[in-house]
Structure 1
Amino acid sequence: MESITLYCRENGSDKVYQASLQPQEQGYVVNFAFGRRGSTLTTGSKTPVPVSYVVAKTAYDRLVRQKLATGYTQGPALTESLQHQPPTPTGLRCMLLNPVAEDELEDLLQDHVHWMQEKMDGRRMLLQKQGKVITSMNRLGVTFTPPETIQQSAAQSPEDFILDGEAVGDVFHVFDILSLAGEDLRQSRFATRYFQLRDFLRTFRHTHIKLVESYCAPEKEPWFQTLKEQGKEGVVFRHMDAVYTPGRPNAGGPCLKHKFYETASFVVAKNNDKRSVSLLLFEGDKIKRAGNVTIPPNHAMPKAGSVVECRYLYAFWESGSIYQPVYLGVREDIRAAECTTDQLKYKAEPTLVTV
């Protein structure tokens, strides 16, 4: 097995590129991961299926030569726990939440059975430690390579675990725990899991793993206003007795989310001129246009057919287009079929006054 880590710091950039040649099944695969240093890396493979060693070695060497020719230089070798992991379905899935209904928000802020946490604006991630092996999974349960800093912090733990949280840059913000030291905690109430998580994180150094604070009444309402004024993404309400249930309920549920601004996932229809793309959504068996969004210079242009996330103020009833869209990035962990018009929040229609 071979692996290499390359870095590029030209013209103010700070990029990392990892490549590895690994045995898989009856052959070999060449996998890669790249992105800004310290961020969650984008992963892929040069060999969609295992190939012979000669073919894989040729592809690996060619890939390394190409990167070295474009300004990358070799960095320190990766340790065993930091090897790039090929994307693999694991069977583990995140617990996904429905939004809070507007008429429920006040009750959730006042009651004593729902705990409130800040909703982080990052990439959803399950982080697992088994012996010396650190594995991360997206919301669909498919493995990907997290920042090395997060892996290094996880490796300091004296116990095996599975944690749930959001990766924001090179920090993993953890809000729940699924297992600890081989014990499955998913059927325990959330309050019990949270206190176990808090106590566990006190047992080792973890500079790049941070606990998401929980707030109970009467602290919820003032913290809600503070987070909103600070421009945070939103909050999550978790019932203190909720067990950890993978997937999303058809409606409601013991844990709910409330965003301070609107976001939605869209399918890229095509690339336009001047660094913008056209967006579309599904409505039943119909395809609906959702407008255009400009791609910032620090983002690569997404390909047609890829899923992207955008922030917006509201959508228009007539056209279905989103107003004041802001491009947030590609979402490899969301399927195109999930990009439906049900996500949208529409501009309020004017109220007719009769006299």
Structure 2
Amino acid sequence: MSLVCHIHAGEDLRFSQVDPTDPGPNEVEVRLGAAGICGSDLHYYFHGKVGAFVIREPLTPGHEAAGIVTRVGSAVTRVVPGNKVAINPSHACGACAYCRAGRDNLCRNMRFLGSASVYPHVQGMFREHFLMHERQLTPVDTDISLGELAFAEPLSVALHGVRRAGELMGRTVLVTGGGTIGSLAVMAARLAGAAHVIVCDIADRPLEVALRAGAHQAIRTDRVAPQAVADLADICLEAAGSAAALETCLQAARRGGRIVQIGTLPAQGLHFPANSIMARELEYVGAFRFAGEFDWAVRYLAQRRLDVRPLLSAQLPLAQAAEAFRLAADKTRSTKVQLTAA
């Protein structure tokens, strides 16, 4: 039997025991090693929805995970039992115009693990065992821990945001939000050659973590006048998902600069100064999930090109998922909280 976590509605989390299913020809059974709790998982747990994506049937969340291969299907060639694997939660169709153009993160028929964006929902990885198509698995043979390897998905998001930012060599970059994505964006910007990386937040702990992640400078934006951040950066990465953070980006971007929206902003009540963008010739672009960056992320982690361990706050067993959700929501105590199979 295998333990599975389900969210039925806001703050209605339940467990079940299910019999493992035999893998099909191209499927692989994976035992959970570590799975991070993301902001979208928190929204599903506390509110029963993420934006327009509302839970309509019990949903198993979880889309950033790593594990150990336990069984493989008859046609599997990519992995063998015992392999340590990073898991790509994106299952693009591979046939639509966006997939054929190499932009599979925009796939018209995307099935993304742990998401209520489609119905029936795509069940995620907050479970002891699960089946994956072999193409979603990347084996790793270095000594990296499963907890570190589970950062491959959020690191991919940060790498995609930095890729959308364009040339960073020698540039000054501002990142709003010192949480997981913001801190990983700091690391990604430095990998891309940024000369000076500034992080902004409204709390001390995220700023301390971002500095440990490699930021050169930290600013408490709630304690400085708006003029203090004016014209600070060539590139601004919005990773906080707040209207106030976006406003900071719009103030901080230099004339001719670029703003990349990585965070998910509130659907209502957003004041957008379009005339300022026009008059200062700012470029405003979006960065949605990731595409080919997942393989880069796994490689960077496996080779220890960057160190995500300062971001890992706690690991709790799957049976304590409700406690883990509450801890993950408390940004005064945690950055990244993960669930484990035992």
| Global fold match (TM > 0.5) | no
Task: Name whichever structure is richer in helix by fraction.
Answer: 2
Q: Rg: which structure is higher?
A: 1
TM-score for the superposition, normalised by structure 1: 0.26
Task: Name whichever structure is richer in strand by fraction.
Answer: 1
- State the structure with bigger RCO (CA 8 A, min sep 6), 1 or 2: 2
TM-score for the superposition, normalised by structure 2: 0.27
